[in-house]
Amino acid sequence: MIDLRSDTVTKPTPAMRRAMSEAEVGDDVYGEDPTVNRLQERAAELFDKEAALFVPTGSMGNQIAVKLHTRPGMEVVIEERGHIYNYEMAAMSAVSGTLARPVKSADGSGIMSWDDIKAAVHANDAPYYVAPTGLVALENSHNLAGGTLLTRERTGEICAGAHALGIPVHLDGARIFNAAAALSETVAALAAPCDSVMFCLSKGLGAPVGSMLLGSRAFVEEARAWRKLLGGGMRQVGVIAAAGLVALEESPKLLHADHANARRLAEGVAELPGVEIDPARVVTNIVIFDVAGTRRAADRICARLQHAHGVLASGFGTSIRMVTHYDVSTADIDAAVRALGEVLRGE
């Protein structure tokens, strides 16, 4: 089986399993789990933020941020394919009473500029008609835009514009370590101007469970209360945080290999008839290609790939997404390209 559905499918490494079995634990609802505390301190240090909170999922981290930055009746400006808007169960309305204001990036890349955002923001205009903007939400790397990147400069420009209007910025950095590796930046530099950032330990970094939410000390204190309210107060969770600590130290240096595999995959599938992708735009571990030209439905292609070749991918609309991670090798990538070729030739 070659599982390219997501980097969430990674299994913990032997080092992670060892750390988990030896983890010192305590009751984290009392703030007494030493391993969780170490993970939070280490994450805050790496991101150069005042504090960090371990949360069970990226979705919970993002939604706590939306809750804390906004009031009901406000809008959240977000790129139209953003995860917070499209893949978190309308939580921004269910949990926070906010409305998404989706924005198209002018160049179609999914990477918004301040000009794109400015046109969608309501700061002090027509208070009896339009909802005020409570938050700008960014995503780096941008999953559904194909793992594309926000540079440090672009994030800085957006934050400067938003902050000048008194609007906070949250960064969904589920894969910010991939972004940092691809841009040769530190995660701290990429997140610096943002008021809060969430990143996932459970994606390319390979930990089995967990994400972190970071910001000011006051923000994280409030986030702790909202995590409890949402049912995310965990007890001897150091057994999981221990894997997160290993992931933070060991995994970032491996991401270049995933990116090279993604580029190789993109170059391979680009050669196949009816497949549309520009391999040069694949800069992290996410490969999204259009199969409209094959006249076959993406989900049918994925079903055939799985059943005839043991290759798992995600199909949506006319697109297929394949994600590389440390549990797939370069040989697996070549096998996946060959398998897709056979499926498209009807073999």
Q: Closest CB to ligand TLP among 305 and 344?
A: 305
Q: How far is the CB of 139 from ligand TLP (least distance, A)?
A: 5
Q: CB–CB of 110/146 below 8 Å? A: yes
| Burial (0-12, 13-18, 19+ Cβ within 10 Å), 319 | middle
Upper half-sphere CA count for residue 321 (Cβ side, 13 Å): 15
Residue nearest to ligand TLP (CB): 58
Question: d(Cα 231, Cα 280) in Å, to the nearest integer?
Answer: 43
Instruction: Report, in Å, the least distance between residue 295 CB and ligand TLP.
Output: 26
Minimum distance from residue 172 beta carbon to ligand TLP (Å): 5
Alpha-carbon separation of residue 50 from 45, 136, 195 (angstroms): 8, 21, 11
**Between 5 and 118, CB nearer to ligand TLP:** 5
- Nearer Cβ to ligand TLP (192/205): 205
What's the CA gap between 54 and 37, in Å, rounded? 9
Give 122 or 321: the residue with its C-beta nearer to ligand TLP.
321
State the nearest-atom distance from the C-beta of 175 to ligand TLP, in Å.
Answer: 6
Least Å distance, CB 26 to ligand TLP, is: 24
Nearer CB in complex with ligand TLP: 6/294: 6
Residue 160 amino acid letter: A
Residues within the interface to ligand TLP (CB under 6 A): 6, 8, 57-59, 62, 83, 87, 139, 143, 172, 174, 200, 202, 211
62 or 294: CB nearest ligand TLP: 62
In the complex, least distance from residue 208 CB atom to ligand TLP, rounded to whole angstroms: 11
Residue 261's closest CA among 335, 173, 329? Answer: 329
Instruction: Supply the minimum distance, in Å, between the C-beta of residue 203 and ligand TLP.
Output: 7
CB closer to ligand TLP, 183 vs 344: 183
**Which three-class secondary structure state does DSSP give residue 61?**
helix
The bridge status of strand 319-323 relative to strand 286-290 is antiparallel
